[in-house]
Structure 1
Amino acid sequence: MKFVRLAAAAGAGVIALGLVSCSSTGGKPADSGGSGGAGGGVNTPRVTIAMVTHAAPGDTFWDLIRKGAQAAADKDNIELKYSSDKEGPNQANLVQNATDSKVAGLAVTLAQPDAMEAAVKGAVAAGIPVVALNAGIEQWQAMGIMEYFGQDERISGEAAGKRLAADGSKKAICVVQEQGSVSLEARCAGVKAGMGGGSVENLNVNGTDMPSVESTITAKLQQDPSIDYIVTLGAPFALSAVQSAKTAGSNAKIATFDTNAALVPAIKDGSVQWAIDQQPYLQGYLAVDSLWLYLNNKNVIGGGQPTLTGPSFIDKTNIDSIAALAQAGTR
């Protein structure tokens, strides 16, 4: 699957926007992140759009998605109601709440699609345009969702696995911070497929308890000294893995999916070898902006195909090009 050109064009343009800094609100009711006044870029009527994600408390990845969504909302004169919960049934309730409040549009993530299906189909049946982002690339079309913005997690995982093999890895662990997430499972399955003859074992951790994450990885490394690579599925967990390797006296290298500002120095000094970037800011931005385009001009992006925002690799060769953007909270 090739990248849809709009994604690349939007990625170049949205950085110039004025940003409103927001942090994720895992498990909390919907709230408005808008500025309260008219947006700076359009004169279309002000409408409310809801975004429901599976963000876990403290996961900085979702700050990037929300910041991109808010940038688009500010530009498009949209009141953004953002809410999140890591449990699928609770996400479905948030979708139902948005439907009942008759929002003009809805953006959802589908990490647990079975739990979300009835509520999402209910929103579609109510005439609310719905787009998906980040998770659910295999499920969005069957639910009647118009568009999808994200990466193909299986393909992303395979790219990671091939790079592990090229780095000489023989035995890796894939650290899963949220059991039951179809996206994370697809990543690890892709890593295994991409590694070819190498061995990859999934290691489940509690992603909402970082000391537990660190101790679980440490124990695994102490139990099996032959592990030569740790692959985490989020930037905060990569930094925990760095400490775990030190504590365990392990020579295992660390790589990760996704980025944040704290990861920049770790890549620069070699503590983390590389990261796969799916551009979460862009995912949030496109999800909201696409709903504005549909509401005002009936545009549908992608022609029935997902708009891919990744994967790409970030390592020592290119980290300087995005370091300032990461510090600003957009990469």
Structure 2
Amino acid sequence: MDRSSRSRRITPALAVVAAAALTLAGCSSGSGGKKSEESAAEGAGAGKATTPRMTVALVTHQAPGDTFWDIVRKGAQAAADKDNVKLVYSADPNAGNQANLIQNAIDQKVDGIAVTLAKPDALKGVIAKAQQAGIPVVGLNSGLSDWKELSLMEFFGQDETVAGEALGKRLDEDGAKNVVCVIQEQGNVGLTQRCDGVKKTFSGTTEVLNVNGTDMPSVKSTITAKLKEDSAIDHVVTLGAPFALTAVQAVDEAGSDAKVATFDLNKQLTGAIAKGDIAFAVDQQPYLQGYLAVDGLWLYKNNGNYSGGGEQPVLTGPAFVDESNVEAIAAFAQKGTR
């Protein structure tokens, strides 16, 4: 995809503002400018587009049972409802299978594809096929370091290395000395970048622990065994909310004093932060990622817009959630949108 004609001056921050402004401009005036907090979050009661019906395929690397993706899907569906879009969702953590799902979307002649790039090399060929078929492709969540190389039109997510670096600094502030960083899916570049970011800024010792994220009892037993083996571990860092909650159980079972910190949120996790079971979480706003990916494809089809000018990612995180602000966020988490 030729990027030479697009602006290279738009910063990520400006891109977020531009995306928000264009999203509002795309709505009809029927809402009168006022929406309840709940209808805004769920996309109900908002002005709806009168543009022709289009179909968007959202293809992710979701593992079965990973509730993080429920939030992404809610955001994507809210945008689809507003934009008169038929949303087709499919997922597989196996990169080869994910590539097949993208091929299915191409065969169905969808109007746009939003895809996660956890294992970008495996998706390179099929993404090129979509582009050759004239189907615009945007990235979200995973793949910030690869989306431009694959000539995706836009990217919505956080810089995982920067997020990891921020968490590493926070660990120093909290007095941590020995950390284990738990990766639930080997080969996932975004997860690796998170732990690498922690190592870069954390002044203590960081050890990576690989677990099988599709088998939660195994995750628990592996973390428990590690904590029993090394009593010096004072913090367990997980890379997803369900794994953080399991890590809390592992800490208890191991009789460890280690604290748990994590990336990502869900409604159960905000409650755990409020209770003090989890020290803090780094939020990348997955609802926003799903919403902007679908809305970005709609804006491109109907107005030729490129969020971020087609050259800069639209950053949705990172932001810390801890006992100081969890109460304000918990209400949205209970709705399944944070």
TM over 0.5: yes
The whole-number CA distance in structure 2 between the counterparts of 1:74 and 1:105 is 16
Tell me how far 1:16 sits from its aligned partner: 3.9
Identity within the alignment, % = 59
Residue of structure 1 in register with 2:132 after alignment = 125
Query: Structure 1, residues 277-317: CA drift from partner, whole Å, max 9, x if none?
Result: 00000000000000000000000010211100000000000
3-state DSSP class of the match of 2:182? strand
Q: Which amino acid aligns with 1:289?
A: D
Query: Structure 1, residues 193-235: CA drift from partner, whole Å, max 9, x if none?
Result: 010x311011011111111111100000000000000000000
3-state DSSP class of the match of 1:230? strand
The whole-number CA distance in structure 1 between the counterparts of 2:15 and 2:291 is 12
Residue of structure 2 in register with 1:95 after alignment = 102
Structure 1 residues 137 and 15: alpha-carbon distance in aligned structure 2, compared to 1, 3 A threshold: farther
Residue of structure 1 in register with 2:79 after alignment = 72
Residue of structure 2 in register with 1:293 after alignment = 299
3-state DSSP class of the match of 2:40? coil
Query: Structure 1, residues 306-330: CA drift from partner, whole Å, max 9, x if none?
Result: 1000000000000011111000000
Q: Which amino acid aligns with 1:17?
A: A
Residue of structure 1 in register with 2:173 after alignment = 166
Q: Which amino acid aligns with 2:244?
A: A
Match of residue 273, structure 1, among 276, 279, 296? 279
Which structure exhibits the higher relative contact order, with contacts defined as CA atoms closer than 8 Å and separated by 6 or more residues? 2
Residue of structure 1 in register with 2:122 after alignment = 115
Residue of structure 1 in register with 2:4 after alignment = none
Are 2:198 and 1:191 aligned?
A: yes
The whole-number CA distance in structure 2 between the counterparts of 1:17 and 1:71 is 9
The whole-number CA distance in structure 2 between the counterparts of 1:264 and 1:281 is 16
TM-score, normalised by the number of residues in structure 1: 0.91
Match of residue 4, structure 1, among 13, 18, 23? 13
Are 2:195 and 1:176 aligned?
A: no
3-state DSSP class of the match of 2:104? helix
Contact 1:15/1:330, CA 8 A, preserved across alignment: no
Tell me how far 1:125 sits from its aligned partner: 1.2
Residue of structure 2 in register with 1:239 after alignment = 245
Tell me how far 1:165 sits from its aligned partner: 1.1
Contact 1:107/1:287, CA 8 A, preserved across alignment: yes
The whole-number CA distance in structure 1 between the counterparts of 2:265 and 2:136 is 30
Tell me how far 1:5 sits from its aligned partner: 4.0
Tell me how far 1:10 sits from its aligned partner: 3.8
Residue of structure 2 in register with 1:45 after alignment = 52
Contact 1:267/1:315, CA 8 A, preserved across alignment: yes
Structure 1: give runs of 5+ residues left out of the alignment: 22-38
Residue of structure 1 in register with 2:265 after alignment = 259
Q: Which runs of 4+ in 1 moved over 6 A?
A: 11-15
TM-score, normalised by the number of residues in structure 2: 0.89
Q: Which amino acid aligns with 1:315?
A: D
Contact 1:20/1:67, CA 8 A, preserved across alignment: no
Tell me how far 1:2 sits from its aligned partner: 6.2
Residue of structure 2 in register with 1:134 after alignment = 141
The whole-number CA distance in structure 2 between the counterparts of 1:18 and 1:265 is 20
Structure 1 residues 6 and 139: alpha-carbon distance in aligned structure 2, compared to 1, 3 A threshold: closer
Structure 2: give runs of 5+ residues left out of the alignment: 1-9, 25-36
Residue of structure 1 in register with 2:42 after alignment = 19
Tell me how far 1:40 sits from its aligned partner: 5.4
Tell me how far 1:43 sits from its aligned partner: 0.4
The whole-number CA distance in structure 2 between the counterparts of 1:125 and 1:4 is 31
Contact 2:41/2:337, CA 8 A, preserved across alignment: no
3-state DSSP class of the match of 1:106? strand
The whole-number CA distance in structure 2 between the counterparts of 1:162 and 1:275 is 13
Residue of structure 1 in register with 2:214 after alignment = 208
Q: Which amino acid aligns with 2:40?
A: L
The whole-number CA distance in structure 2 between the counterparts of 1:18 and 1:164 is 32
Q: Which amino acid aligns with 2:249?
A: Q
Are 2:313 and 1:313 aligned?
A: no
Residue of structure 1 in register with 2:231 after alignment = 225
Tell me how far 1:168 sits from its aligned partner: 0.9
The whole-number CA distance in structure 2 between the counterparts of 1:207 and 1:99 is 30
